[in-house]
Amino acid sequence: MSETGIGVPVKRVEDRRFLTGRGNYTDDINQPGQLYAWILRSPHAHARIKSVDIKKAKEAPGVIAIFTGADMASDEVGSIPCGWQIHNKDGSPMNEPAHPPMAFEKVRHVGDQVAIVIAETKAQARDGSELISVDYEVLKASIMMNDSLSKDALPVHDDVPSNICFDWELGDKESTDAAFEEADHIVSIEVVNNRLIPNAMEPRAAVAEYNSATGKYTLNTTTQNPHVIRLLMGAFVLQIPEHKLRIISHDVGGGFGSKIFHYAEEAILTWASAKVSQPIKWTAERSEAFITDAHGRDHETSADLALDKSGRFLGLRVSTNANIGAYLSTFGSSVPTYLYATLMAGVYTTPNIYCEVKTVFTNTVPVDAYRGAGRPECTYLLERLVNKAANETGIDPVEIRKKNMIQSDQFPYQTPVALQYDVGDYPASFNTALKSADYEGFADRKSDSESRGKCRGIGISTYIEACGIAPSAVAGALGARAGLYESAQVRVHPTGSVTVYTGTHNHGQGHETTFAQLVAESFGIEVDQVEISHGDTGEVQFGMGTYGSRSMAVGGPAILNACNKIIEKAKKIAAHILEASESDVEFKDGVFQISGTDRELSFAEVSLAAYVPHNYPIEEIEPGLDENAFYDPLNFSFPAGCHICEVEVDPETGEIEINNFTAVDDVGRVINPMIVEGQVQGGLAQGIGQALLEGCVYDESGQLLTGSYMDYTMPRADNMPNFNVSTQSVLGASNPLEVKGVGEVGAIGSPPAVINAILDALNPLGVSDISMPASPLKVWQAIQKAQ
Amino acid sequence: MTRGDPTRRRKKMPTVSMTVNGKSVSSEVEPRTLLVQYLRENLGLTGTHVGCDTSQCGACVVHVNGESAKSCTMLAMQAEGSDVSTIEGLAEGDTLHPMQEAFRDNHGLQCGFCTPGMVMSAIDLVRTNNNPSEQEVREWLEGNLCRCTGYHNIVKSILAGAKAMQG
Ligand code: FES
Ligand code: FES
């Protein structure tokens, strides 16, 4: 039996190289004869480019070439496509203005690409760029959504005069309105989901190379999904056929969604590498990352909840404006729609739901998926609203949740907003969380805090997310332009060691360990006999990459299916060698055995026989043990759980201390408990960061005021608590591994728990609302205002 | 010689010499070369990372004469004659330094990008305080950002690593 199979907290396979400084991140890669690129970016949020004068810059020391948007346009470089088409309420398709990799005629946000300078050194490229003179006609910029929607706003895209990308709806408006007619209470709320900057610690980078002898392009890039980049950039932007385009992303220093998208720099560098016939490297500075990595969240929402006398939810009405930024990024349109409104039932039985979403172009960086993507926005709204309902009806926040929760015998549960939840037990994780957080003992802790002049509060949040993206038919019906299968190739080598090629991507999640555990379990071998290969379109057949907590839920079963094919074939081989009938051969714990006898062959013996046999039924079975599988899940998977936060607020200073943070998550089957805990902890820090620290701020001219670590407050070790994390799982029903996904749960469940806790603490002082990030200043001001 | 050949120099550049991971090195550098650039680009020691341009993230922490320093914040020339050690110099052959081992045992890393800086910084903490409390570890890490772990397991790793370094 494998000692490193499913469920074991195996130490990570990948750690040794990271701990000894031998990771292989994109910026670590250098090619012979490599040049360096600096990208000149727009200093204005909105301007017409009247002219670009590169004469002086071209003469600068070391400068090899300079290209502008006009050069790319004259080469007929295509527009960067959006992967998800949403339809308006009236059935017409969303507005999809052109998204040229390099701005042409007009710049639309601070940081928009204007020119690429290629030089012998990075410093020379940068120095050269300073000699370019661009004549801009500065235009009035729309930064907030209200600016874009106002009558005198200029269009961000001339062909979209309304600045509205789409105006979409989900749910039954009539039945929901009817529910409000019958309601005993109506609770209303307005919330803003603060705009965030993802800030993976590794800035984006790329090294592009064109080989004129073979006509092949190679792009090393910091991406979560190399095949998606190959498809989008190859087929749509640069028209390079896939056999001539190789995308590699080995080690990537965190993604959190921000490295899903096909970024302009990837296309610019690849295109330019053929122009100069030398490899080109570009690495973003952190300040560049702030103004070019897609941002997250940025919703403004008003919502009403209808309740009957007893506190039962009758209907929910939601109206959201979502900022989509200056361009439609790869998944930008799916985030505020199908990853958001479809979750509006939460873990509750609300029978009538209607949600409308307007997405708005602004002169800001594109907004797209960031850890949780749509689901944190939904959860924040719901759980703030439920708490407000508890307050206004006088029902205890625990009771009101219990009263409305979907029960474990109601699955599969069809929500009124398209999704069907497969399986779960929400009351179970809820009760466990209350216990684990010692909810009952809160009153004593509160009076202890009060005796020290502090306000103490406890906040609850439940959540559900749909992940394991995606069941392709459903995704297609929802507007995805591609199916979201995952593929795997499992190659057993002649001596029984194994290489797995997966189309998902590991950038911190520990796939090299957990996927190996899965294979170890299947073959009865150990993790150290398995190598996981990912992140190279030249090695891996195909894949859709890693996001939406899909790797184990979609990529895992593909690996499992390929392993099963191997076992089937190996049984045939074993039967031949053992001179038995195939139906008599059993495979267990790494051994092929004829049932009821001691005649057996090890996995390694059969592997060897598969490749270098003397005696082989070549007519019936091909040699080799190498199988492919594609997998498409039956349904999304639905992790859910309960997060409880306890805070102490100093009313004199507004300072907040998190005294306890408890998360009980149902993530389905746990492959490696150590890694699962780590994933939850990391997500919690990002969620708590959103609630307390992080917020992107632009001034009205579109300059990013939070453009460095001096202004954008990142979670640090001394402002994060220890986390009380555990899982309470009901095995998933949407895939054969029974997993649900864990990457995003922490960031989804935690922000409302924090804010609910703060509001609970400040309730006696008359504070009933606070926006994220709840900085000490904001808290102090809210207290002053309420007094 | 290709156009991008870095050995093609226009003017004479100053020479910098130091000891890196026990080996003496000496190279011509442009005066504005940062220590981190020198390590990564001239010496190929890419374990030291760059995560910011405002001296805040700590991905670049190395030891200069035994003390932790942000290598993005000093010029290579300022390290003239110094004894520099980087993440690549910590393990002895296949045996990890106890702090590296502690990070592995306690799942103190995910994407690994902040990790070299975290480990180098942690070792310097233990040099100055061989029995740090959790709070002291958290405060010490003020200059080291991690986006993946939420710090929980980094703190746990450093506490364990500090103990192991005593043992
Ligand atoms: S690179 Fe961020 S502090 Fe040095
Ligand atoms: S492990 Fe990824 S930034 Fe720390």
The strands making up A600-602's β-sheet, listed across from edge to edge, are: A585-588, A591-594, A600-602
- SS3 category, A208: strand
Contact across the interface for A253 and B113, Cβ inside 8 Å: yes
Q: Determine which helix (DSSP H) or strand (DSSP E) holds A360, and give its type and residue range.
A: strand A352-361
| Tens-digit pLDDT profile for residues A673-712 | 999 999 999 999 999 999 999 999 999 999 999 999 999 9
**Ligand 2 atom nearest to CA at B109:** 1
**Could you tell me if A201 lies within 8 Å of chain B, comparing CB atoms?**
yes
Of the candidates A207, A245, A290, the one whose C-alpha atom is nearest the C-alpha of residue A37 is A207
Collect all residues of chain B within an 8 Å Cβ-Cβ radius of residue A25.
46, 49, 113
* pLDDT of amino acid B2: 43
d(CA A251, CA A262): 18
A31-139+201-254+259-292 and A299-469+635-786 agree in CATH topology: no
Of the candidates A149, A346, A196, A578, the one whose C-alpha atom is nearest the C-alpha of residue B147 is A196
Average pLDDT taken over every residue of chain B: 94
Pocket-testing residue among B55, B87, B115, ligand 1, by greatest number of atoms within 8 A of Cβ: B55
- Which residue in this structure is represented by tokens 């914040």? B73
List for chain B the helix, strand, coil content (%; round to 5). 35, 15, 45
CATH architecture designation of domain A485-631: 2-Layer Sandwich (3.30)
B155 CA to centre of ligand 1 in angstroms = 20
The encoded tokens of residue A567 equal 């076992």
d(CA A739, CA A732): 5
Collect all residues of chain B within an 8 Å Cβ-Cβ radius of residue A254.
110-111, 113, 147-148
Relative to beta strand A413-414, strand A352-361 is unpaired
Pocket-testing residue among B148, B153, B157, ligand 2, by greatest number of atoms within 8 A of Cβ: B148
Is A254 near ligand 2, meaning CB less than 6 Å away? yes
Where in chain B is CATH 3.10.20.30? Answer: 15-89
* pLDDT of amino acid B12: 79
* pLDDT of amino acid A19: 98
Is B157 near ligand 2, meaning CB less than 6 Å away? no
CB contact at 8 A, A753 and A644: yes
* pLDDT higher than 70, residue B4: no
d(CA A384, CA A460): 9
Cis upstream peptide for B132 (omega within 30°): no
Of the candidates A465, A193, A165, A163, the one whose C-alpha atom is nearest the C-alpha of residue A303 is A193
A773 CA to centre of ligand 1 in angstroms = 25
* pLDDT higher than 60, residue B5: no
Nearest to B46 among A28, A278, A715 (CB): A28
Instruction: Tell me which CATH code domain A299-469+635-786 carries.
Output: 3.30.365.10
d(CA A755, CA A768): 11
Of the candidates B86, B48, B47, the one whose C-alpha atom is nearest the C-alpha of residue B64 is B86
| Tens-digit pLDDT profile for residues B120-167 | 999 999 999 999 999 999 999 999 999 999 999 999 999 999 999 997
| Residues in contact with B61: Cβ distance below 8 Å, sequence separation at least 6, in sequence order | B48, B68, B69, B70, B71, B116, B117, B118, B120, B121, B124, B143, B144
- Which residue in this structure is represented by tokens 């907040």? A656
The strands making up A656-666's β-sheet, listed across from edge to edge, are: A455-464, A640-649, A656-666, A724-727
Using CA atoms, how far residue A685 sits from A433, A547, A718, B68, B151, in Å, is 18, 18, 12, 26, 8
The encoded tokens of residue B115 equal 């990790």
Long-range contacts of the stretch A151-159 (C-beta < 8 A, 24+): A154/A46, A155/A361, A156/A46, A156/A97, A156/A108, A156/A326, A156/A361, A156/A362, A156/A363, A157/A95, A157/A97, A157/A98, A157/A108, A157/A361, A158/A106, A159/A95, A159/A97
- Which residue in this structure is represented by tokens 């997250």? A296
d(CA A28, CA A7): 34
Return the DSSP state at A407: P
Is B142 near ligand 1, meaning CB less than 6 Å away? no
* pLDDT higher than 60, residue A349: yes
Nearest to B45 among A21, A34, A685 (CB): A21
pLDDT-derived band at A283, boundaries 50, 70, 90: very high
| Tens-digit pLDDT profile for residues A500-519 | 999 999 999 999 999 999 99
Region of poorest pLDDT, from A321-325, A738-742, B6-10: B6-10
CB contact at 8 A, A407 and A329: no
* pLDDT of amino acid B10: 54
Q: CATH class for domain A31-139+201-254+259-292? A: alpha beta
Using CA atoms, how far residue A545 sits from A27, A487, A619, in Å, is 21, 10, 38
Using CA atoms, how far residue A689 sits from A340, A577, B109, in Å, is 20, 60, 19
* B164 vs A470, residue with greater confidence: B164
Nearest to A64 among B3, B114, B150 (CB): B3
Return the DSSP state at A341: G
- Which residue in this structure is represented by tokens 């200073």? A653
d(CA A410, CA A423): 9
* pLDDT of amino acid A1: 81
| Tens-digit pLDDT profile for residues A439-455 | 999 999 999 999 999 99
Choices 3.10.20.30, 3.40.50.300, 3.40.190.80, 3.40.1080.10: CATH for B15-89: 3.10.20.30
* pLDDT of amino acid B1: 37
d(CA A707, CA A17): 32
d(CA A200, CA A217): 27
For chain B, the residue count is 167
Of the candidates A528, A508, A509, A512, the one whose C-alpha atom is nearest the C-alpha of residue A520 is A528
Rg (CA), chain B: 17
d(CA A241, CA A238): 9
| Phi, psi at B46, each rounded to 5° | -85, 10
Is B145 near ligand 2, meaning CB less than 6 Å away? no
- SS3 category, A72: helix
Q: How many CB atoms lie within 10 A of CB A599?
A: 16
Q: Determine which helix (DSSP H) or strand (DSSP E) holds A531, and give its type and residue range.
A: strand A530-533
**Mean of pLDDT values over A7-27:** 98
Q: Please name the residue whose Cα sits nearest to atom 3 of ligand 1.
A: B55
Give the mutation candidate from A16, A19, A277, A513 for the B interface (greatest B CB count, under 10 A): A19
Of chain A, the percentage scoring pLDDT greater than 70 comes to: 100
Residue A241 CA to its chain's centroid (Å): 28
pLDDT-derived band at B11, boundaries 50, 70, 90: low
Residue A538 CA to its chain's centroid (Å): 25
**Mean of pLDDT values over A265-286:** 98
* pLDDT of amino acid B85: 98
* pLDDT of amino acid B9: 47
Instruction: Tell me which CATH code domain B98-166 carries.
Output: 1.10.150.120
What is the interface pTM, i.e. ipTM, of the complex? 0.97
Q: Please name the residue whose Cα sits nearest to atom 2 of ligand 2.
A: B111
Collect all residues of chain A within an 8 Å Cβ-Cβ radius of residue B56.
708-710
Of the candidates A532, A571, A537, the one whose C-alpha atom is nearest the C-alpha of residue A551 is A532
Return the DSSP state at A131: T
| Tens-digit pLDDT profile for residues A595-647 | 999 999 999 999 999 999 888 888 889 999 999 999 999 899 999 999 999 99
**Could you tell me if A287 lies within 8 Å of chain B, comparing CB atoms?**
yes
Of the candidates A102, A128, A111, A31, the one whose C-alpha atom is nearest the C-alpha of residue A285 is A111
Where in chain B is CATH 1.10.150.120? Answer: 98-166
- SS3 category, A453: coil
Is B113 near ligand 2, meaning CB less than 6 Å away? yes
Average pLDDT taken over every residue of chain A: 97
Q: Distance between the two ends of chain A, CA-based, in angstroms?
A: 66
| Tens-digit pLDDT profile for residues A719-736 | 999 999 999 999 999 999
d(CA A249, CA A225): 8
* pLDDT higher than 90, residue A786: yes
Collect all residues of chain B within an 8 Å Cβ-Cβ radius of residue A23.
46-47, 112-113
Greatest pairwise CA separation for chain B in angstroms: 56
* A478 vs A776, residue with greater confidence: A776
The encoded tokens of residue A191 equal 């919330």
| Residues in contact with B4: Cβ distance below 8 Å, sequence separation at least 6, in sequence order | A33, A34, A35, A64, A120, A278, A279
Which amino acid is residue A62, in one-letter code?
Answer: G
d(CA A3, CA A10): 9
**Could you tell me if A15 lies within 8 Å of chain B, comparing CB atoms?**
yes
Residue A660 CA to its chain's centroid (Å): 26
The encoded tokens of residue A382 equal 């719901």
Nearest to A286 among B52, B103, B149 (CB): B52
